[in-house]
Amino acid sequence: MGTLFLVSTPIGNLGDISGRAAKVLSEVTAILAEDNRVSRTLLAHCGINRASETYHDFNKERVTPRLIERLKAGETMAIITDAGTPGIADPAFNLVRAAIAAGITVTPVPGPAAFCAALVASGLPTDRFVFENFLPHKSGARRRVLESYKNEHRTVILYETPHRIVKVLEEMDEIFGDILVVIGRELTKVYEEFLRGSPKELLAHFKIKPPRGEMVVLFNQRIRDK
Ligand code: SAM
């Protein structure tokens, strides 16, 4: 039986790759990645000159059985994603389930994850938190999820995109009113920034400076001061 390594990779700054992650990537018999173009840059940075195989949302059902056969035959594989930790808002989960069911060893090689980086620097309570991932695309379903957090005392963490953030902040303003929202943007990259304010204040900010880049949105209804 081989081993499946879940290798965390940088969320922007290539310097965040760990020594262990680079070592595992150079030793495994196969590397599975969401997008070969993205993984090529990282692998080149680690001095690894080989192609990865793709494992993404659109082929995961089809390729999983064959990958499990190869792992059973003794191959060692690393799965990486475009950014951060495999399994957090990306397709690794499928393979992990199938590997565990087949009795294959699944080993994490931990490192960056955007939600964790954003949480610890947000200034919001870190002792108890909820990770909601991406909200639903449809506005009705999205509202229902947001409304379910009305009496939530823990810090809530969402992944968001620049083209939807204005809509979400408008909905948050209607549902929660004057709460403190923190947005961690472009974390570990050159233009990293943390924005703090009520949904209305953040909407005003984005009117002047249109939203760009990758972002994590956090709020905690017990904390009101910036
Ligand atoms: N697996 C990744 C992780 O461990 O965080 C998450 C992948 S998910 C498909 C991509 C989302 O993560 C982005 O839309 C954004 O919300 C968040 N994200 C990833 N990198 C980020 C960064 N450098 N700064 C802020 N948010 C980031």
SS3 224: coil
What spacing in Å lies between the alpha carbon of 38 and ligand 1's midpoint? 14
Going from the N-terminus, what domains does the chain have, and what CATH number goes with each? 3-109 (3.40.1010.10), 114-224 (3.30.950.10)
Rounded Cα distance, 140 and 145, in Å: 9
**Ligand 1 atom 26 nearest Cα:** 215
pLDDT tens-digit readout, 90-124: 989 999 999 999 999 999 999 999 999 999 999 99
What spacing in Å lies between the alpha carbon of 11 and ligand 1's midpoint? 7
Q: Is the CB of 183 under 6 A from ligand 1?
A: no
What spacing in Å lies between the alpha carbon of 214 and ligand 1's midpoint? 6
- CA 218 from centre of chain: 14
Helix H or strand E encompassing 45: helix 36-45
Q: Is the CB of 122 under 6 A from ligand 1?
A: no
Which residue stretches of 73-226 are H helix? 92-101, 114-122, 139-147, 165-176, 199-208
pTM of the model: 0.96
pLDDT tens-digit readout, 189-225: 999 999 999 999 999 999 999 999 999 999 999 887 7
Three-point CA angle 45, 109, 95, nearest 5°: 100
- What value does the CA radius of gyration of the chain take, rounded to a whole number of Å? 19
